[in-house]
Structure 1
Amino acid sequence: MFVTGDSIDSFHLWPAETLNWTEAVWFGAWAPEHALTVYLYHWFRPAMGIYGGGCIVWIGDTAVPWEAPLFQYDVNRPVLGRLDLRDLTLDNGFRLYVLRPGYDYEMEFRNPRATVALRFTATTAPDLTDRRGTSDLFEGHVDQPGCYSGYVEIDGHRYPIDCFGIRDRSWGPREIGDDVRMGYCHGESEQVAFLAFSRPADTDEEIYKGYLSIDGIRHDVVRGSRRVKHVAGRLSDIAFELEDEAGRRLAGHGTPLNRFSYTPYPKLLSHHYLMRWELPCGPVFGEEQDLWSVPLWRQSRIAAGVVR
């Protein structure tokens, strides 16, 4: 049922007994002028013959799934036929086609209320991201900046998409433990793109991996830190600085334009923010993703006196 291969654009061979082997594909784009984010995200568990995910659109302060303009996110749908990630059609209304392996993609999502049509063109090579610090979530992982064009139409209202953004692709055993805590922020423009994985803390957070791309030349991050500020329990500002293996440095700070929270997997809570980053080259848009295991999130809320 799953067509496998040795490229980042295909499903990978998996051990038959590894029921939690997960293949995931994500495209994230935005229309900052509307504080709108659109996600096309799907995960597959080939050993179990199931898939999940779908299309999510949120605008501004629509912070939870039941307030979002569009939230079609399924779990445990049976795989009924042959699936090839290079030319993929799913029975939930999603289609993905690889125009140029590793670089150019077309995707579409349709349901009775909405149509999403996007094209993604990468601005760097599809380099694998180091597993360091995230080996329980994936074996192979690609984070790739690029530009999006297309539109989102919901209930007859059309939002043009013309932005720089990111896609990711991952595969391997995925086990969501009780102590997951990770920051994941990124920003993209024609000249500059950055990605930073961080370990959240009460003071400065360590950035332990990521990349920095300047004029299409990309190097891995070797060190960095960031400071996250909340006001009345809400994210208000992130300041960061990082250095790559070529000795290039980037510093900036960002503020959120929208917010949204959901559980992409039953034990994983993910808070998402469309960010406007102020960099030396000017404003750049991207994201902050704040990931928690559900038990750890509850512990934090108890410590803050919010729940008992």
Structure 2
Amino acid sequence: MSEPREVFHPAGDDADWCESGWLGFNIAERDINGFVYYFHDVRTGVSGGGPALWDPSGGEVYDCLFYDWRWRQPPTGALDFRDFTLPNSLRHEVVDPMRRYRLSYSQLGLDLELEWSALMDPHVLGPASPEHCHFDQPGRMHGTATLNGERLDVECYAMRDRTWGPHRPGARRPGDYLWAIASPEMHWHAITMASREPGLDTVLGGYLVRDGVLGELVKGTRRVLERRAGAPARVVLDAEDDRGRTLHAEGDVRTALHWLGWPGRLTFWTLTEWRWDDVVGFGEDQ
């Protein structure tokens, strides 16, 4: 498979098969983090998801700034990936394939008008096929989030991902999804999994863009130095890419949401300020 396509992909035979997409955004000066996250099963026509916003005032789905990520929504039937609207009003439009997307939502006191644009091509993790793929893509998000009458301007770097294939419920080894963007020439992303050494996670994949040059992460570790209410508060990533370049990134968590969106999995979803290579960039440590 040479390039992901802008379609909802045919389902395989696995009962846990599903397709999902996520686009993040933040308002760093207010310590606000947010997402638009959807999923769809072409076999049943069942979709779900929605937006969320949180800051240090509330770290649970019941007391955060806003939460409308719905596990169950009325069946939609077939959807066209290029322009679809979920029952809770979340709309996703492909403006320019793999480069630009428009998002909107208007319910329960929140109005979103957002547009995401890419910084580089999608970065595919591992083998990809029409039956299974995961990719991540850095970009920019701009627009507005009007919450209970207060207009919040959104202008930030933002990551998105997309996955199709089995989404397994239940317990699994702990892992992490972390990224940071300081500029179009300086950004990185890593996925890690818990090792046998307590508190130490090993890098499974990711990338490093330094001075505009892309490299694949081939090894590394992620460690939590400090926790707050169970969630990471200070994090360190040390990694190396296939060009022999090393990355040392230190992250300070600004805010964390305790998220139980997928059955059997707890995620600490954080807005994190990262420092590396004498630059500062915001991102996450999930």
Q: TM-score, normalised by structure 1?
A: 0.84
Contact 2:57-2:64 at 8 Å conserved across structures: no
1:125 match: 121
Contact 2:227-2:234 at 8 Å conserved across structures: no
What code does the residue aligned with 2:220 have?
Answer: G
The number of residues matched between the two structures is 278
Contact 1:61-1:259 at 8 Å conserved across structures: no
Residue correspondence of structure 1 range 119-158 to structure 2 within 5 A: 119-130=115-126, 139-158=132-151
What's the RMSD between the two structures over aligned residues?
2.0
Point out the more displaced range, 45-54 or 272-281.
45-54
Secondary structure of 2:11's match? coil
Q: Please tell me whether residue 162 in structure 1 is matched to residue 147 in structure 2.
A: no
1:183 match: 176
2:8 match: 11
1:26 match: 22
Point out the more displaced range, 138-147 or 37-46.
138-147
In the TM superposition, what is the alpha-carbon distance from 1:199 to its structure 2 partner?
2.1
Point out the more displaced range, 152-161 or 215-224.
215-224
Contact 1:103-1:126 at 8 Å conserved across structures: no
1:294 match: none
What code does the residue aligned with 2:29 have?
Answer: E
In the TM superposition, what is the alpha-carbon distance from 1:61 to its structure 2 partner?
4.1
C-alpha spacing 1:142/1:234, structure 2 compared with 1 (3 Å): closer
Point out the structure with the larger helix share.
1
C-alpha spacing 1:215/1:93, structure 2 compared with 1 (3 Å): farther
Specify every segment of 5 or more residues in structure 1 that has no aligned partner in the other structure, as ranges.
1-5, 290-308
CA–CA distance in structure 1, aligned partners of residues 108 and 271 of structure 2: 27
Q: Give runs of ≥4 in structure 1 deviating > 6 Å.
A: none
What code does the residue aligned with 1:142 have?
Answer: F
CA–CA distance in structure 2, aligned partners of residues 95 and 203 of structure 1: 40
CA–CA distance in structure 2, aligned partners of residues 127 and 199 of structure 1: 19
CA–CA distance in structure 2, aligned partners of residues 18 and 198 of structure 1: 25
CA–CA distance in structure 1, aligned partners of residues 267 and 148 of structure 2: 27
Of all paired residues, the percent bearing the same amino acid is 26
Q: Please tell me whether residue 217 in structure 1 is matched to residue 210 in structure 2.
A: no
In the TM superposition, what is the alpha-carbon distance from 1:184 to its structure 2 partner?
1.2
What code does the residue aligned with 2:62 have?
Answer: W
Q: TM-score, normalised by structure 2?
A: 0.91
